Structure 1
Amino acid sequence: MSRPTRTATVAELKVLGHPLRWRILRLCLDQALTNQQVAHRLELSPATTLRHVRALVKAGFLEAEQVRTGARGALERPYRATGRTRGLVALDLDAAELVQQMDLALLSAHRAELAQAGPDAGRDIARGVLRLTEGSQAELRQRLGALLAEFESRDEPDGEPLSYLWSLAVRP
């Protein structure tokens, strides 16, 4: 089983080049949240998060749901991640700087999630060095992609939400 992929556009790379946007998408993946709720969870001002939410909506990565009545009777609009980042591959060599910016935004967002989880949060982390031919690299990507796709397809509603980051980089 392999994961379906699609190549990111330059416009998508620009939108996904900020770590806060990745964190917003992660928060809105399992439940629809209002801008106020996102701002509270990220400990940011609502104006700051609204700018990022609007960019994500415009690019189709977040979708506004029906307006609802909040706890205090005010109308509020929740947003939910569309899942369009799943299988997104940044391959545009003409936009190498944007690809790297998106990669670094992903790393920064993941780091922030680790920090926010606190010192008592359970973690599994590993770092190593491999020396592989292009063929072995392709095999590694395919096998890990298939394994991740298998676990993503399980969709266990009672499961604990986990964040993972898979990265393979050439050593300088």
Structure 2
Amino acid sequence: MAEQAAHESAPRPPTTPAQLRALTHPLSWRVLRLCLDEPWTNQQLADRLGVAPATLLRRVRALTEAGFLVAEAPRQGPHGAWERPYRATGRTWRLDFGPDDGEHLQAKVELAVLDAHRAELRENDPAAPQHVRRAVLRLDDDARAELTARLDALLDEFIARPDSGGTPVSILWSAAERKPAAADPLDVDISPEPSEAAD
């Protein structure tokens, strides 16, 4: 975990539009979440997430081309066939969105993250310990920057701690400025693709 924290704190160029497009569907985030703990093959991911292998393969290819997944050496599956596992690179820990280019990619990515987190909550054990808190704060620019920096630093601190072998805990930190509703709401389709099975 310390190596991941050091890697993620290093300066990086702004995330490209092509990379962001690979993250605009919740399925991408669910794939990345699984492949962060251990390498998964395309078939394993398709079975685990209940989607068609062809649909999953498109996501895996897009994430690999964007640098969010890396292919590992092929291995023999349980039936003797050679399979290629994929591992998440951790590059999504911090994304530099840069200026909006008119595609509203940041908003689309954020909605995809929320939807993926919701899917994880739905499939989680209802009796498992959970914590949720929602609040509305009135912040000026300096206070908002301070809040973001302090929360980022806290998460970085926990990531840098040695692996204690504890239970994985999914953390979602999202802050959205509340503005008057737009005349034309953002048209974002984060529903499953036609070939995907419902969660």
Give TM-score, length-normalised by structure 1.
0.93
2:45 maps to which residue?
38
Instruction: String of CA shifts for 1:14-66, please: whole Å, max 9, x gaps.
Output: 11111100110000001000011111111111111111001111111101100
User: What does residue range 38-77 of structure 1 map to in structure 2 within 5 Å?
Assistant: 38-77=45-84
Aligned with residue 148 of structure 1, among 155, 169, 180: 155
Q: Distance in 1 between matches of 2:109 and 2:148?
A: 19
Between Structure 1 and Structure 2, the one with more helix by share is 1
2:105 maps to which residue?
98
Aligned with residue 83 of structure 1, among 70, 87, 90: 90
Unaligned runs of 5+ residues in structure 2 are 180-199
Q: Distance in 1 between matches of 2:52 and 2:162?
A: 33
Aligned with residue 137 of structure 2, among 130, 136, 141: 130
Q: Distance in 2 between matches of 1:123 and 1:89?
A: 29
SS at match of 1:80: strand
Q: Which amino acid in the other structure matches residue 81 of structure 1?
A: A
Q: Distance in 2 between matches of 1:157 and 1:70?
A: 30
Q: CA deviation at 1:96?
A: 5.4
1:107 maps to which residue?
114
2:124 maps to which residue?
117
Unaligned runs of 5+ residues in structure 1 are none
- Residue 26 of structure 2 is aligned to residue 19 of structure 1: yes
Q: Distance in 2 between matches of 1:52 and 1:169?
A: 27
Q: Which amino acid in the other structure matches residue 35 of structure 2?
A: C
* Residues paired across the two proteins, number: 172
1:165 maps to which residue?
172
Give TM-score, length-normalised by structure 2.
0.81
Q: CA deviation at 1:95?
A: 4.0
Segments ≥4 residues shifted beyond 4 Å: none
Contact 1:91 1:99 survives alignment (8 Å): no
Q: Distance in 1 between matches of 2:122 and 2:171?
A: 14
Instruction: String of CA shifts for 1:107-143, please: whole Å, max 9, x gaps.
Output: 1111111111142232111101101111111110111
Q: Which amino acid in the other structure matches residue 113 of structure 1?
A: E
Name the stretch that deviates more: 40-49 or 91-100.
Answer: 91-100
Q: Which amino acid in the other structure matches residue 158 of structure 2?
A: F
Query: What is the RMSD computed on CA atoms of the aligned residues?
Result: 1.8
Q: Which amino acid in the other structure matches residue 71 of structure 1?
A: P
Residue 52 to residue 61, structure 1, CA distance change in 2 (3 Å): same
SS at match of 1:8: coil
Q: Distance in 1 between matches of 2:104 and 2:144?
A: 23
Q: CA deviation at 1:93?
A: 2.1
Residue 101 to residue 138, structure 1, CA distance change in 2 (3 Å): same
Q: Distance in 1 between matches of 2:123 and 2:62?
A: 24
